[in-house]
Structure 1
Amino acid sequence: MRQDIYDRQMELTMKRTERDRIKRRLNGAEKRLDEAIDSRDRLYRRLTKEQQDIAKLGKFSFTNKLKAWTGKWDEQMEKELAEAAEAELKYNEAEKTVMDLKMETEKLRKEMQNPDFTYIDEDWTDFLKEKEIWIRQNDSVANSTLQKIADVRVSLRSMMRELGEAEEAGRKAIRALDAALNKLGSAEGMSMWDTFLGGGLIVSAIKYSEINSSEDLIHRAQRALRHFETELMDVQNIAAESFTINKKDIFTFTDLFFDNIFSDWMVHSRITDAKSKLNQVLQDVRRVLDGLARKKDEVDHELKRLDVQEQDIIIS
């Protein structure tokens, strides 16, 4: 009977933990989606304004004609194009983020519809009543101790599961960061050739192709890091400050390439800076993974200790 109670408690606890975790994630994803949509819409309005400024500057007017005579038209047009390029990059990044969060939110909503969650609270209430009756009928020191061991074991196994999921998300983040770093390394090589050795049109084209590929990979790394942070939030009874990625080290592609975008030197400098920042984030993730591994060892050690304690009580 005691084993039946333990098994039932484990089953219900895991289901309730999973349900609460999905609900917490869904609430967070919905909030982030609303914020991302607001940000995307603001950036779209800004992009539209920049496009209108370029169109206005391109129209014939005596003011524009005067700027052309004085040489200020080219300067103004270059400035407007740079601002439009910045706005377009940021808008595209925001649109990708919105799409990611929409898919995440839809997935979580479907998970919340799991039939196992329909009557989980009622099942838990009924179980607690049954458990109370059993404890009253079997009120001995040994049974009480065994039940306490079972309660702790349920909590530890739930924690072990969450630690494992966080660890897997961290490994995926590292793979995504490594891919982005490798692509940025290729872009840096092309940029150095183009900037300092006069690579010509072909090298310049390859450089920007590598930069465009880097944009997608950095976005994937961002997505992996967001998932990693979500998993870390699910880890119970762990000091939060020990498992936090430094926010200032997390950035988007548009943080790197938006100012003086047509300057070869500035692009090269941005690529170098991006690699440095990505390496900082990579080290941060590895530090967190090391902490998770240590915590898993501690939990595993405690589970083994409980097994020994339980066997000693049963045998004695």
Structure 2
Amino acid sequence: MSETELHDAARDRARRDQLASHADAARGLVEQRERELAEMQQKLRIETADVRRLERFSPAQVWGLLRGDIDDKLSVERAEQSAAEHAVDGATQRLDYARADLARIEGEIAALGDVDTAYAAALGDREQLLRDAGTDAAAELTRLDAEAGELAAQVREISEATAALHEAQAALAAAQSALDSAGGWSTYDTFFGGGMVADWMKHDRIGASTRAFTVVNRALESLATELADIDAPPVQGVRISESLAVFDVLFDNVFSDWAVRERIAQARAAASDLGLRLDGLDAYLAERETAVAVRTADLITRREQLILER
């Protein structure tokens, strides 16, 4: 590919980026104009309804006739209706202009074609020339490509860890909700003499909580596996095995009302603490993902510089 073709491909891509920015602004203006028109139309509907109410024979019209001011009120309402109609016309025209401008910009973008593919092809041809020549730049390109591959693998692993984390957070939220219900019935049964029904409901909710925390435990096990794949250290004291031990034994051998209430309080505290630690892990994974994205962008920039400066 010639120097001219590479130049043209870079020019077209820069123009596309500029037009894309203009299109975003134009799209925002269209949305604003649409909201303005909707407001004007709503006002027109209200004014029209006021006019029709005065035009129809109604108690309001009778009262107006008795007072002798029906014609004046109707004239005012018709004037307000007319003003609202003009406002709708103006808003419609402004919206049409905004849509036309957006369509023009989008048409220019479409006319440029697939500029990214054209630019990538131009760089690819230029890169091949460098590799064929066996220059120092070719060796550095190989090194950059290897690092980019490693970063791509990290992105995948971090994404999988984040997905496992979010599943654990969702499971914990569901378990906490079940635990709150159990806590409510336990308090009622302990302090207000809930009786047999309350006692049955309490233990039913404890059973539901236990099952819900079993789901949490399994989600935490999956999360631990994913964290190991990215060599993630315990963040903010997240120790998965200890959390499992707490929730596996928390509701075992519970008999008295006071013991039940105390175990539920322990579970709530443990769940709340785990939630905070998982939030910290979420922030840590987001930071790692951002760092990988920044490094990847740096590699792409350096790669282009190597190709273009030769």
1:196 corresponds to: 191
Match of 1:156?
Answer: 151
2:269 and 2:234 mapped to 1: Cα distance? 23
How many Å separate the matches in 2 of 1:241 and 1:173? 16
Q: Cα–Cα, structure 1 residues 198 and 224, in superposed 2: closer, same or farther, change >3 Å?
A: same
Amino acid at match of 1:165: E
Amino acid at match of 1:177: L
Q: Secondary structure at the match of 1:169?
A: helix
Range with bigger deviation, 138-147 or 159-168: 138-147
Shift of 1:243: 7.7
Answering whether residue 256 of structure 2 is matched by residue 263 of structure 1, we say yes
Secondary structure at the residue paired with 2:203?
helix
Whether contact under 8 Å (1:250, 1:281) holds in the other structure is no
For residues 101-138 of structure 1, the C-alpha deviation after alignment (integer angstroms, 9 at most, x for no partner) is xxxxxxxxxxxxxxxxxxxxxxxxxxxxxxxxxx9975
Provide the residue aligned with 1:251 in structure 2.
245
Is the 8 Å Cα contact of residues 187 and 261 (structure 2) preserved in structure 1? yes
How far 1:282 sits from its partner (Å)? 1.3
1:174 matched to which residue of 2?
169
Q: In structure 2, what is the Cα distance between the partners aligned to 1:215 and 1:252?
A: 12
Instruction: Please give the secondary structure, in 1, of the residue aligned with 2:292.
Output: helix
Q: CA deviation at 1:248?
A: 3.0
In the other structure, the counterpart of 1:220 is 215
Q: Does the 8 Å contact 1:218/1:252 carry over to 2?
A: no
Tell me the amino acid that sits aligned with residue 271 of structure 2: L
Task: Work out which of the residue numbers 196, 207, 226 in structure 1 matches 2:202.
Answer: 207
Alignment map for 1:97-136 (pairs within 5 Å): none
Unaligned segments of structure 2, at least 5 residues = 1-129
Structure 1: distance between partners of 2:306 and 2:214: 54
TM-score, structure 2 normalization: 0.55
Q: Could you say what the CA RMSD is over the residues aligned between the two structures, in angstroms? A: 2.0
Match status 1:293 vs 2:298: no
Offset, 1:250 = 3.5
Which of the two has higher C-alpha Rg? 2
The C-alpha deviation readout for 1:221-269, integer Å capped at 9, x for no partner, is 0000000010000115x5x24486224344354411234x220110111
Q: 1:226 to 1:243 in 2, by over 3 A?
A: farther
| In 1, Cα distance between equivalents of 2:157 and 2:236 | 13
The code of the aligned residue for 1:210 comes to: R
List 4+ stretches of structure 1 deviating above 4 A. Answer: 135-138
Number of matched pairs: 179
Distance in structure 2 (CA, Å) of the matches to 1:142 and 1:270: 66
Distance 1:146 1:254 in 2: 53
- 2:169 counterpart SS class: helix
* Residue aligning to 2:142: 147
Asked if the contact 1:249–1:280 (Cα under 8 Å) also holds between the matched residues in 2, the reply is no
The residue that corresponds to 2:112 in the other structure is none
Q: Unpaired segments of 5 or more residues in structure 1?
A: 1-134
Q: Deviations over 1:1-48 (max 9, x none)?
A: xxxxxxxxxxxxxxxxxxxxxxxxxxxxxxxxxxxxxxxxxxxxxxxx
- Alignment counterpart, residue 302 of structure 2, candidates 303, 306, 309: 309
Q: Is this contact kept in 2: 1:222–1:252, CA < 8 A?
A: no
Cα deviation code 1:284-303 (max 9, x no counterpart): 11111110000100000000
Q: Which residue of 1 aligns with 2:276?
A: 283
Question: Aligned AA for 1:194?
Answer: D
Letter in 2 for 1:297: T
Q: Distance in 1 between matches of 2:248 and 2:149?
A: 45
Once the 2 structures are TM-superposed, how far is the Cα of residue 281 of structure 1 from its aligned partner? 1.2
What letter corresponds to residue 306 of structure 1 in structure 2?
L
* Amino-acid identity (%): 28
Q: Does the Cα contact within 8 Å between 1:222 and 1:251 map onto a contact in 2? A: no
Paired residue type of 1:279: S
AA aligned to 2:262 is S
Relative distance call for 1:252 and 1:138 in structure 2 (3 A) is farther
